[in-house]
A and B are shown apart, each in its own frame.
Chain A
Amino acid sequence: MSSPINTSWRVARLYLRIADWSLIPLYFLMVVALYGAFLYAPTEREMGDVQRIFYFHVGVAWNCFLAFFGVFLGGVAYLITRKRSWDHLAASCVEVGVVFTTMVLTTGPIWAKPIWNTWWPWGDPRIMTTMVLWLIYVAYLMLRSSLPEGETKYKYCAVFGIIGFLDVPIVWFSIRWWRTIHPVVITSSGAELEPEMIHALFVSVIAMTVLCVTLVMLRMAMRLNSSMAEELTHS
């Protein structure tokens, strides 16, 4: 009745159900986010329409850190508990995190070229940190694909996920003393934005977060299913 495979099957179904249920609000949120960014929010006075990429850029960027924190968390929990589901979480978060970081590194230059007159301003802490993050987690995927399936693989990936995440604050501070040109829109004293812009940003951030969680759930369900299939063929 409650054999391990039975439980795994139930958990996989739960992941899929969460992903399924989040699809309906996700469609709704995405449409509202698009409407908010393109029609509802006013055009920025100095930058013009290109500023509208900001809503997606920020929404996606915050999820990179969320996803990579998931990798760190999954890694630590895996090393402590040795439960494979933690490895599923870490691996799925890396995949989604790398895709999201790629989106940040694509939308950033599109905005930066007309505004700063350069695609890639070296020396900005946020840009450099994001790029180093991207490099670290692409390396993680390479490590993952070059190891044979087994406990060693999950352990090594957990270790690399942890030391990669420890690097984030150090990268940040190591570049910080260089002059930063990245706009700081939201400071501790409040946001320097029109109320409509804040609404649009808010919806976009929520929509991207739901997208991120949904994708992670789908990948986790996929991983659980494939490990169950493996178990069945070997037993």
Chain B
Amino acid sequence: MGPGTWNAPGGRSDKNMNPIALTWVLVGKDLKIEYRSRQAYLTTVFFAILILVIFNFAFDPGSPATREAASGILWVALLFPGIIRLNRSFQVEMEEGTLYGLILSPADRGVLFLGKLLANWLFLMVVDLLVFLAFVIVYNFSFSTQLLWIVLLIVLSALGFSAVGTLLGAMVSTIRTREVLLPVLLFPIILPIILPAVSGTQEILLAQEIQSLNRSVELLVAFDLIYLAAGYLLFDYVVAD
């Protein structure tokens, strides 16, 4: 937080607004917008379920080949709707010029990044878990505690996805062709999280001997940490002026 005599909404003085409290104010704002508009997360979940259904038509349901491919199908259904979320994340800020307000506030740019990131992460986790639930039912997998490992993979990869996505989403928000450009920029960067996520998920779904799961989790954690740090440091450059 910069020096100054800025008063936070609700008459709290800036003494009380430590970076953590400020981050939560930003997260709360974003989630409130999503909750009130409802449209965004319903569209996102619906889109993901559509992908699951389309794949079910493309492959013969019930055949062993479909079960082999199920992990890949799940991750496609989780990744593509994520793009919708990221595009929306900064679009709502641009529409009424909120982003400029946020930049002009004495809040540290890193805090802005963390706020947007956490909001995107929480949103994606809720959507992803709903999609995962639909996936387990539509693809006839039985519920077991093993599936909690997949939930962990989803949570970790959603964090990495949001970290890179928030940074790039802020960057392309001013570009005219942003809807196309964002996936083109984002997908090559997040390829290394898709690989461990898909192979880890496959091991659990096929009830194979668990071999690469530990590695998958380690890689996802490493990816998340690197891009959290990079985003925190670089966000300043993508939103300034």
Which residues of A approach B to under 8 Å, CB–CB?
Answer: 79, 132, 135-136, 139, 142-143, 146-147, 152, 155-156, 158-160, 162-164, 166-167, 170-171, 173-175, 177
* Inter-chain contact B181/A167, CB cutoff 8 Å: no
Shortest beta-carbon distance from B156 to chain A in Å: 13
Instruction: Report how far A164 CA is from B227 CA in the complex, Å.
Output: 11
Instruction: Report how far A177 CA is from B172 CA in the complex, Å.
Output: 34
Q: Which of B181, B230, B241 contacts A143 (CB 8 A)?
A: B181
CB-nearest residue of chain A to B175: A146
Instruction: Report how far A142 CA is from B183 CA in the complex, Å.
Output: 12
Say yes or no for B215: interface residue by CB 8 A criterion: yes
* Inter-chain contact B188/A132, CB cutoff 8 Å: yes
The 3 nearest A-B residue pairs measured at CB: A135-B188, A174-B192, A136-B188
Say yes or no for B100: interface residue by CB 8 A criterion: no
With A143-B181, A146-B181, A170-B222: A162-B192 Cβ-Cβ less than 8 Å: no
Chain A residues, Cβ within 8 Å of B212: 177
Say yes or no for B167: interface residue by CB 8 A criterion: yes
Shortest beta-carbon distance from B22 to chain A in Å: 23
Say yes or no for B196: interface residue by CB 8 A criterion: yes
CB-nearest residue of chain B to A140: B185
CB-nearest residue of chain A to B194: A174
Shortest beta-carbon distance from A109 to chain B in Å: 20
Instruction: Report how far A177 CA is from B189 CA in the complex, Å.
Output: 19
Say yes or no for B20: interface residue by CB 8 A criterion: no
Shortest beta-carbon distance from B196 to chain A in Å: 6
Chain A: interface secondary structure? helix
Q: Which of A132, A166, A175 contacts B227 (CB 8 A)?
A: A166
Chain B residues, Cβ within 8 Å of A132: 188, 191-192
Say yes or no for B234: interface residue by CB 8 A criterion: yes
Chain A residues, Cβ within 8 Å of B188: 132, 135-136, 139, 164, 167
With A155-B237, A155-B238: A170-B230 Cβ-Cβ less than 8 Å: no
* Inter-chain contact B185/A160, CB cutoff 8 Å: yes
Chain A residues, Cβ within 8 Å of B132: none
Chain A residues, Cβ within 8 Å of B241: 152
Instruction: Report how far A167 CA is from B163 CA in the complex, Å.
Output: 13
* Inter-chain contact B238/A174, CB cutoff 8 Å: no
Q: Which of B164, B171, B223 contacts A156 (CB 8 A)?
A: B171
* Inter-chain contact B192/A167, CB cutoff 8 Å: yes
12 A–B contact pairs at CB < 8 A? A135-B188, A139-B185, A146-B175, A152-B174, A156-B238, A160-B171, A162-B234, A163-B164, A166-B227, A167-B192, A170-B219, A170-B222
